Each structure stands twice: as C-alpha cells, then as structure tokens.
Amino acid sequence: MKLNKIGRGTLASIVSLAVGLGLTACSRDYTLAYVYVTNAKPASAGSTDGTVSAFAVDYQIGSLVPLADSPLPAGKNPVALVSSPDSQNLYVVNHDDSTVMHFAIGTDGKLYLKETTNITGSLPTAVAIDAAGKFLYVTFTYQLGPNGQQLYSPASPGPGGVTVFSIDSSGKLSPVSTVNVGNNPVAIAVSRQATIASSNTTLAYVYVVDQEAQPNATVLGFTQNVSTGALTPTPGTVITTVAGKTVATGYNAGIAPSSVAIDPSTRYVYVTDQAANQLYGYGIGTGGALVPLLSSPYTTGLYPSSVTIDPRGKYMYVTNFSSNSVSAYAIDTATGSPSGSVGSTSTTVATNPTCSAVDPALGIYLYVSNNKDGSVSGMKLDPHNGTLKQVQNSPFPTGSLPTCLTVVANGSHPNQLIIQ
C-alpha cells in the first residue's frame, strides 16, 4: 500500500508552514480551537435531555473559556460527537433518541442546529467521519424490523450495525446503507485515504469494535469505497447469518474492547480492553487485514475507556476510567510498538475520564472529559517526548455527566497535515 502522492520533504514543509501560520494567526486571534463536550444530563433535576458545552481554547496557555449561549440542548443521552474535516459541521449522536444532530459551526465557534436525523437502527454508541468529509458512520446496538419495529433487547440480543450517511456540501446527512455487525458494537474509526499503487485505486479502512461476550469480542475490519461509502469486509473479517441472526468474527481484541484509534500514517490500529486493562496493537496488512504487533498487548491503567493519537502520530494517550488518569505512550514509527516509558507515571485527571482529544491546530493540547466530576481536564503535551502537564485553571466545569468531547481548529488556524 502506498499513501497519496506527496513526498516526505513536501509534507514536512507543509507541517512547518502550518505551525508557523498558526502562530502568526494566533497573534491576531487568541482562540486556537474550540472544544465541544456532550453531557448526558443538564444540571436541572429531572430532565433526561442532554446538552453540548462549547469552549474557546486560548492559544497561549490552552485554558478553556465558555462560549456565549453554552451549553446548548441536545437529545436524550448524547454519547458521541465528531466534527467535519473542514471544521464547519458538528455531529452529535443521541443514544436514547437514536438520532444524529447536525450543527453548523459558526466563525465564532457557536453552534447552530440544522437538523436531526434518525439512524437506521436503535441505541447508537459511536460515530466517525471519513477524511474527505463525504460519509458519516454511526454504530448502533440493535437492528430495526419492518416499520421501525424493535426486534431485539438486552434479554434477546440481535445484530447491531453501522448506519452509513452521505454528507452533502451543506453538511446535511442522508442515510444510504446499513451494515450489520456483531451484537454489541461500541466504537468505530476511519483511516485516512490511501492509494494502492498496483491498481491505482483510492480507499480507506474502517474498524469497528464489537464488545460481545467472550469468546466473541473482536475488531471487525472493512474497506471503504470512497465514492459510495459502502463497506466491504477485509480479509479476516467474516459476517454471516446463522439461524436468522448475524454472526460476525474478526480479530481478537481481548475480553471487553472499548475504543479504537488508527495512526495518521494508516499503518497501525490500537484497541483498549477495559476488562483486562490492556492495549492491543495491530499492523495494517494487505487489504486492511490486521496483524498483531509482536509485543502486543500493553499494560494500561484501570478500565481504559478511550485511546487517541496526536496529529504527528508520535504519541498515544489512554484515559483510564477507574484510575482517574491518562497514560502516555511513545509510538515506535518503525514497528508501531508503544512504549510506556513516556507515561510510566500516569497523569492524574478528575474523576472517571471518558474521552480525550488533541487539538488539531498545533497538536500540543490534550483535553479529557471527566464524567463523574462534570469537568474537562486540559493538559499541554511536550512535542519532544509526549509528557503531559496540566494547563492553567484545569479542570474546567462543564455540564453534568460529560460523555465525550472533540476539538475543532479555529478557522484562522490550519489543521496539521502529518503523513509518515
């Protein structure tokens, strides 16, 4: 597999220019990026609707400043969110409503609700968008029957799936297909696009974490058709129908896999196992097949809940829900193996961290949503070794029971472009 046709020297120049331009722009605009946080419930007692909190990131110190009109209403129990690559749209997934809310992002970072769209299943769990911003993928717990009838329940589990949405030039969603997967999909990630030199075709890979009961916990791999958004199982992933039910098998991911991340070079995939307190690493082989790294799995803190990789592809961060910490790892770019020496002493955050993200503008600030504490922790990462240091005034109060967050570059600050 050969990545798109830009030389390393040119890429390095683009990255250097982006950082330089970002710093120059920051001298006139003190907002580096915006942080958006989904909150399961607002502070008012008795309400079941969630909210979205919005913050501006101060470029000098990384502190968060709440935006006017924040928080905004969301659906019932929002659990995940993702922004478009052009930083103009935000998509929020509501678990109990089985909907996706589309917000336009204003030039001032404020959110404007455009529409709410139903998914093709029930109880969604995670969301991802492709690098071109053309397709949105939402995992859901249960398939629906005719006329939207609920066929399955926790007592009678059935196939979960992935709703594939096309995205038009305004950011509007339209469901185009549904892919059935295992009985409990909980996380999804889409790789950057790559060009296959032998056939001169462009594609991307999609990986879904299926948290079924042992021994069926697995990672499922798919090839994305970049023109239609359709998903085709990669070698090693098999999805069949047995006695009227979908059965999915893929790559071993431990006992209870909980999150997934793909490195920017599209060479490695990492999956956390919250039951065994481990991190699994894979190389991406021919056709998107996953090959376990020689030293995998790796130790994490207690109950790892999410994994994220910095835009340079050099460092990886795992939030540990029960340890109230973030573990830092340096990634060996030649082998994909993460070394815990960078984060041998984990960085403490507030209570029950759920989700993390690195700012895409300069790639130096990491933010973590803390569920029980109702806050966001902000940290600055050292670009030379990946270590973390709390930013001033961290943690920052948000809504009640924050579930996840994302960071969107301010329009005056270019996103980093890193391909190794």
Condensed to tens digits (0 to 9), the pLDDT of residues 280-299 reads 999 999 999 999 999 999 99
> Quick one: pLDDT at residue 6?
33
Measured CA to CA, the distance from residue 237 to residue 181 in angstroms comes to 10
Measured CA to CA, the distance from residue 108 to residue 342 in angstroms comes to 36
Residue partners of 155: CB distance under 8 A and separation at least 6 = none
> Quick one: pLDDT at residue 415?
60
> Quick one: pLDDT at residue 3?
34
Highest mean pLDDT out of 22-26, 186-190, 246-250: 186-190
Helix (H) or strand (E) holding 22: helix 8-26
Asked whether 331 and 282 are in contact (CB, 8 A), the reply is no
pLDDT band at 176 (very low <50, low <70, confident <90, very high): very high
pLDDT band at 9 (very low <50, low <70, confident <90, very high): very low
Q: Which amino acid is at 264?
A: P
> Quick one: pLDDT at residue 217?
86
Helix (H) or strand (E) holding 10: helix 8-26
Give the three-state DSSP class for 159: coil
Asked whether 129 and 100 are in contact (CB, 8 A), the reply is no
Class of domain 8-409: mainly beta
Looking up tokens 């911003």 gives: 133
Question: Strand 375-381 relative to strand 298-299: parallel, antiparallel, unpaired?
Answer: unpaired
Measured CA to CA, the distance from residue 411 to residue 13 in angstroms comes to 20
Question: Strand 121-129 relative to strand 135-143: parallel, antiparallel, unpaired?
Answer: antiparallel
Give the three-state DSSP class for 391: coil
Report the DSSP beta bridge partners of residue 270: 261, 281
Asked whether 248 and 231 are in contact (CB, 8 A), the reply is no
* pTM of this structure: 0.89
> Quick one: pLDDT at residue 47?
59
Measured CA to CA, the distance from residue 36 to residue 198 in angstroms comes to 41
Task: Provide the 8-state DSSP code for 2.
Answer: B
Residue 148 has pLDDT above 70, yes or no: no
Measured CA to CA, the distance from residue 175 to residue 362 in angstroms comes to 34
